[in-house]
Amino acid sequence: MIPDWGATTLFTQGQYKPEGEVLDHLHQRGVSLEESAIVRVVGDGEHIQHVELADGRQTAIQGLYVAPQVTITSPIVAKLKLETVETPMGTHIKVDEFKESSTAGVFVAGDLSNPMQNGTFAIASGTMAGVAAHRALMFNH
């Protein structure tokens, strides 16, 4: 998505080597690859000017996007033995289309139930989980 907005460099931090189809796709999208790790982000507190790389070079950039992974910290998930799903974005709880988890009667909403963290999706999933929980109470299943 990011190459749609301008010249893009993928900093792999030396931890990931794109290959095959992924590499072809990055080339098609005009993405430059940088393997040397970013060790410092330099700016004036408001704008980023450049990043310093482990091999001593500096690269000017206008913006920096990171790809953090979500981890589940609540002990409730393990206590209720809810099944989880691993994705490149991290871990979320396995749910069906009505947001019911692998444990009957337990409904999950928000980022916990969705690999695409987004406010609108979180609200929509909360609505679905609420409706489905109410329905389950009415029909006792």
| Contact set with ligand FAD (CB under 6 A) | 74, 110-111, 117-120, 122
User: At its nearest, how many Å lie between ligand FAD and the CB of residue 101?
Assistant: 14
Q: Which is nearer to ligand FAD, 23 or 131 (CB)?
A: 131
Q: For residue 100, list its beta bridge partners.
A: 107
Task: Give 53 or 111: the residue with its C-beta nearer to ligand FAD.
Answer: 111
CA distances from 2 to 6, 7, 117 (A): 7, 9, 17
Least separation in angstroms between residue 80's CB and ligand FAD is 13
Closest separation in Å from C-beta 34 to ligand FAD: 24
Within 1-141, residue ranges assigned H as helices are 20-28, 75-79, 119-139
Minimum CB distance to ligand FAD smaller for 13 or for 118 = 118
> For residue 8, which of 58, 50, 49, 65 has the smallest C-alpha distance?
65
